[in-house]
Chain A
Amino acid sequence: KAGVTQTPRYLIKTRGQQVTLSCSPISGHRSVSWYQQTPGQGLQFLFEYFSETQRNKGNFPGRFSGRQFSNSRSEMNVSTLELGDSALYLCASSFYYKQGTFSYNEQFFGPGTRLTVL
């Protein structure tokens, strides 16, 4: 199975611009999550999409948004870019396993998109 793919791998933008990042999950995975990685804040959860609906959201401003398409591919958008948005943005696709009262989720990460805001 092909892994999680993210495009583009690198982006350079200037303050005030907006950007769209793309993620294609592993075939058969219906859930896509996005994370931001910075040296100062580490890895932080942005949001999760499942069957084209946002199912979970982290603590980020509304400038960060996303969507998911019927083929499970996902995009995230950042509007009005700020210098602090420079980061590695990681996408993860996942499957859920549930048996009785036990449930489990495992996430597989893509290589990330390195965004630099100048």
Chain B
Amino acid sequence: GDSVTQMEGPVTLSEEAFLTINCTYTATGYPSLFWYVQYPGEGLQLLLKATKADDKGSNKGFEATYRKETTSFHLEKGSVQVSDSAVYFCALSDVNSGYALNFGKGTSLLVTP
């Protein structure tokens, strides 16, 4: 079945550092890919999405490109801020699974001043 693997955290970075969180997936069909963010005590917020190969999703300085050849959707940000400290989840949905979101385990990010 479909699955998502993302790098384990926690990831600790200094403010203004470059961020990469790796995410790879396996899927039988042509999934849509998502990054969600969860701040402490809150639900999930959609950060960005991509629906087909080579699409680049972007939002709030974060970017991720849907790479079908490497089955990857890595999250990047050029300069992180303390306010980016949160848990980041990579996810996929596919018509074959009725669009249920299949999440990675999450990566905790801590940005220090």
Q: Which residues of A contact B (CB under 8 A)?
A: 4, 6, 33, 35, 42-43, 45, 48, 55-56, 58, 90, 92, 94, 96, 102-112
- Chain B contact patch, size range: 20 to 34
CB of A103 within 8 A of CB of B95, answer: yes
CB distance from A97 to the nearest CB of B (A): 9
CB of A45 within 8 A of CB of B46, answer: no
Which residues of the other chain, A, contact B45 by a CB distance below 8 angstroms?
Answer: 109
CB of B46 within 8 A of CB of A108, answer: yes
The complex places the Cα of A4 from the Cα of B106 at a distance, in Å, of 22
Most chain B CB within a 10 A radius of its CB, from A35, A55, A90, A109: A109
Given contacts A56-B100, A105-B93, A105-B99, contact A42 B44 (CB under 8 A): no
CB of A112 within 8 A of CB of B43, answer: yes
Assess whether B102 is interfacial by the CB under 8 Å rule. yes
The complex places the Cα of A6 from the Cα of B43 at a distance, in Å, of 10
Which residues of the other chain, B, contact A109 by a CB distance below 8 angstroms?
Answer: 36, 43-46
The complex places the Cα of A103 from the Cα of B45 at a distance, in Å, of 22
CB of A45 within 8 A of CB of B49, answer: no
* A-B pairs with beta carbons under 8 Å apart, 12 shown: A33-B100, A43-B106, A56-B100, A94-B99, A105-B93, A107-B93, A107-B99, A108-B46, A109-B45, A111-B43, A112-B42, A112-B43
Question: Of A6, A90, A94, which one neighbours B44 at CB under 8 angstroms?
Answer: A90
CB distance from A24 to the nearest CB of B (A): 14
